[in-house]
């Protein structure tokens, strides 16, 4: 099939490369010319496991190309996936749908023949009819343009795997047996024939599938972090407890890693956008639980700041603190709403000198937060530090030798915000060891 992907961020670039991997002829479209040039040279514009390989492979075999032109995209094929970002509005909880409607408005005038526009961007429920109305009003092909809602559930750092082997496919249409359904089934044929559950539903359910899934995942993480607060107060060990709970198949191990909580470009803004939409629909009370989920998540960050202050005898001014981790989670260079950087910035505001290290996200962090100091080597970063904070659980950090690290500082104190350092080994090496969720 010939298809396009409009918007080549974490979602779109991955989708474009994976569709080429499935055998389709793909044109990715992004208004950022620099990004287009990088991808056309066979490289991924950000870190994502396996993506570089797929982009290199399919730009070389001619199945994948990128452009900044809506006109070219519209002329290329009759299936257009819309993957643009829907961030949080500044100063509000609601989604900013500006990029979505701009993309649809710019694509529409070039749509002269029947086509399917399949939206993958995360939206507040009720956006689909607005997209349809805009397309029908502006596109020369008018109501021969069909809209499908096809939410994406990929996790960053597993995005290629999650796209090629998803847990389920969700396809939303406004009528039964639509042509759009046949087109999408053909597009995903190789995935469907491996037995992937494929749920066909209406637009609103498809839109809600994504926001409710993310709300549930965020709730699960905040639940175990609320229990971590109880553990800290009562002397229990939240890591052991999470393990015990997770053996119950009804609870499960996934999303039960206690620690500094969630960040990134999805979960925080999705729970807020979901609450804002529920308010608009007059059912705000239904989601008051998410206010608590958000509050518990923020308290994790405050708790680390508080523990740091206590470890430094209530004086942060003039203290040197090393932060291991800048990415919002391991395996990515994405620093959007990074819990690690939020803590680093707060401690900096309170007067400490902060040195941040990260194996992949330092360039992004440096550009965004020039007020912090950055060091590439995690061992050198500890030199002369009064306190070490482990805030993003890159596996390499738990492999470093605490004995060697202790020699770099005269006050070996560490706070493990992610629960992956071995307390005993660190203590044996002379470190004062504190961890979130343990007494
Ligand atoms: C998330 C959803 O998982 C995905 O389905 C959706 O499409 C987009 O949002 P992502 O943001 O890539 O994906 O990351 P995820 O792996 O879910 O982690 C989100 C955040 O929660 C990270 O900051 C991570 O460190 C944190 N987390 C995750 C925990 O603190 N504990 C856990 O047990 C799991």
- Segments making up each domain of the chain, as ranges: 2-196, 211-296, 300-435
Task: Report the topology of domain 211-296.
Answer: 1.10.1040
Centroid of chain to Cα 13: 14
Distance 234 CA to ligand 1 centre (A): 28
User: Was domain 300-435 assigned CATH 3.90.550.10?
Assistant: no
Output the pLDDT for position 301: 98
Centroid of chain to Cα 71: 30
Closest residue by Cα to residue 391 from 332, 322, 437: 322
283-329 tens-digit pLDDT: 999 999 999 999 999 999 999 999 999 999 999 999 999 999 999 99
Distance 267 CA to ligand 1 centre (A): 7
Q: Do domains 2-196 and 211-296 have the same CATH topology?
A: no
Percent of the chain scoring above 70 in pLDDT: 100
Residue nearest (by alpha carbon) to ligand 1 atom 31? 257
Distance 28 CA to ligand 1 centre (A): 26
Output the pLDDT for position 298: 98
Task: Indicate the pLDDT class of residue 14, thresholds 50, 70 and 90.
Answer: very high
Strand, helix or coil for residue 320: strand
Residues 222 and 398: their CA atoms lie apart, in Å, by 24
Tell which one of 252, 267, 270 to mutate to probe ligand 1, the residue whose CB is within 8 A of the most ligand atoms. 267
Task: Indicate the pLDDT class of residue 176, thresholds 50, 70 and 90.
Answer: confident
Output the pLDDT for position 222: 98
Output the pLDDT for position 42: 98
- Judge whether residue 424 has pLDDT over 80: yes
187-235 tens-digit pLDDT: 999 999 999 999 999 999 999 999 999 999 999 999 999 999 999 999 9
Strand, helix or coil for residue 246: helix
Residues 161 and 388: their CA atoms lie apart, in Å, by 34
Across the chain, which distance is largest between two alpha carbons, in Å?
72
Q: What is the mean pLDDT of the chain?
A: 97
Residue nearest (by alpha carbon) to ligand 1 atom 25? 329
- Judge whether residue 437 has pLDDT over 90: no
- Judge whether residue 416 has pLDDT over 90: yes
Closest residue by Cα to residue 372 from 360, 381, 380, 359: 381
Distance 59 CA to ligand 1 centre (A): 30
Could you tell me the two tokens for 167? Answer: 């847990």
Q: What is the position in ligand 1's atom list of the atom closest to the CA of 258?
A: 31
Percent of the chain scoring above 90 in pLDDT: 98
Output the pLDDT for position 178: 86
* Residue numbers annotated as active site: 266
Q: What is the position in ligand 1's atom list of the atom closest to the CA of 266?
A: 9
Task: Indicate the pLDDT class of residue 418, thresholds 50, 70 and 90.
Answer: very high
Tell which one of 163, 217, 260, 394 to mutate to probe ligand 1, the residue whose CB is within 8 A of the most ligand atoms. 217
Residue nearest (by alpha carbon) to ligand 1 atom 10? 155
Tell which one of 51, 329, 419, 420 to mutate to probe ligand 1, the residue whose CB is within 8 A of the most ligand atoms. 329
Task: Indicate the pLDDT class of residue 164, thresholds 50, 70 and 90.
Answer: very high
CB atoms within 10 A of CB 313: 9
Distance 164 CA to ligand 1 centre (A): 19
The kind and range of the H/E element at 111 are none
Decide if 431 contacts 406 (C-beta within 8 A): yes
State which CATH number among 3.40.50.720, 3.40.50.2300, 3.40.630.10, 3.40.220.10 fits the domain covering 2-196.
3.40.50.720
Output the pLDDT for position 439: 73
Q: What is the position in ligand 1's atom list of the atom closest to the CA of 154?
A: 7
With a Cβ cut-off of 6 Å, ligand 1 is lined by 153-156, 214, 217, 221, 255-257, 259, 261-264, 266-267, 328-329
Q: What is the position in ligand 1's atom list of the atom closest to the CA of 155?
A: 12
Q: Which residues of 227-256 are buried (b: 16+ CB within 10 A; e: fewer)?
A: bbbebbeeebbbbebbeebbeeeeeeeebb
- Judge whether residue 344 has pLDDT over 90: yes
CA distances from residue 182 to 73, 189, 355 in whole angstroms, order as listed: 21, 10, 54
Decide if 323 contacts 345 (C-beta within 8 A): no
Q: What is the position in ligand 1's atom list of the atom closest to the CA of 157?
A: 12
73-132 tens-digit pLDDT: 999 999 999 999 999 999 999 999 999 999 999 999 999 999 999 999 999 999 999 999
- Judge whether residue 177 has pLDDT over 80: no
Strand runs labelled E in 281-426: 320-324, 353-357, 373-374, 387-390, 413-416
Reported pTM: 0.96
């Amino acid at each position: 099939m010939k298809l396009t992907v409009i918007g080549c961020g974490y979602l779109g670039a991955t989708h474009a490369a994976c569709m080429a991997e499935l055998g389709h002829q793909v044109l990715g479209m992004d208004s950022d010319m620099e990004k287009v040039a990088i991808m056309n040279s066979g490289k991924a514009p950000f870190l994502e496991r396996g993506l570089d390989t797929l982009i290199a492979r399919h730009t070389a075999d001619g199945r994948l190309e990128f452009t900044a032109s809506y006109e070219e995209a519209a002329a290329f094929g009759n299936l257009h996936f819309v993957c643009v970002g829907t961030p949080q509005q500044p100063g509000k909880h609601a989604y900013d749908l500006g990029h979505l409607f701009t993309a649809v408005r710019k694509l529409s005038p070039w749509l002269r023949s029947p086509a399917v526009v399949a939206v993958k961007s995360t939206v507040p429920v009720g956006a689909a009819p607005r997209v349809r109305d805009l397309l029908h009003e502006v596109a020369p092909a008018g109501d021969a343009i069909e809209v499908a809602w096809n939410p994406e559930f990929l996790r960053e750092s597993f995005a290629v795997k999650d796209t090629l082997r998803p847990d389920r496919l969700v396809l939303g249409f406004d009528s039964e047996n639509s042509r759009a359904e046949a087109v999408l089934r053909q597009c995903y044929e190789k995935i469907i024939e491996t037995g992937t559950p494929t749920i066909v539903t209406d637009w609103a359910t498809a839109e809600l599938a994504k926001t409710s899934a993310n709300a549930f995942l965020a709730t699960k993480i905040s639940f175990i972090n609320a229990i971590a607060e109880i553990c800290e107060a009562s002397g229990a060990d939240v890591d052991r407890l999470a393990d015990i709970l997770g053996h119950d198949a009804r609870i499960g191990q996934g999303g039960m890693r206690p620690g500094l909580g969630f960040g990134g470009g999805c979960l925080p803004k999705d729970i807020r956008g979901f609450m804002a939409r529920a308010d608009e629909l007059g059912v705000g009370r239904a989601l008051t639980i998410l206010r608590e989920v958000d509050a518990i998540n923020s308290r994790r960050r405050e708790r680390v700041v508080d523990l740091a202050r206590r470890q430094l005898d209530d004086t942060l001014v003039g203290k040197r603190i090393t932060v291991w981790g800048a990415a919002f989670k391991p395996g990515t260079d994405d620093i959007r709403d990074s819990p690690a950087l939020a803590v680093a910035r707060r401690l900096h505001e309170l007067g400490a000198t902060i040195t941040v290290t990260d194996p992949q996200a330092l360039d992004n962090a440096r550009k965004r937060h020039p007020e912090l100091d950055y060091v590439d080597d995690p061992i050198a970063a500890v030199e002369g530090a009064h306190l070490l904070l482990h805030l993003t659980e890159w596996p390499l950090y738990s492999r470093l030798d605490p004995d060697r690290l202790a020699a770099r500082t005269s006050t070996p104190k560490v706070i493990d915000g992610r629960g992956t350092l071995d307390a005993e080994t660190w203590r044996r090496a002379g470190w004062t060891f504190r961890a979130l969720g343990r007494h």
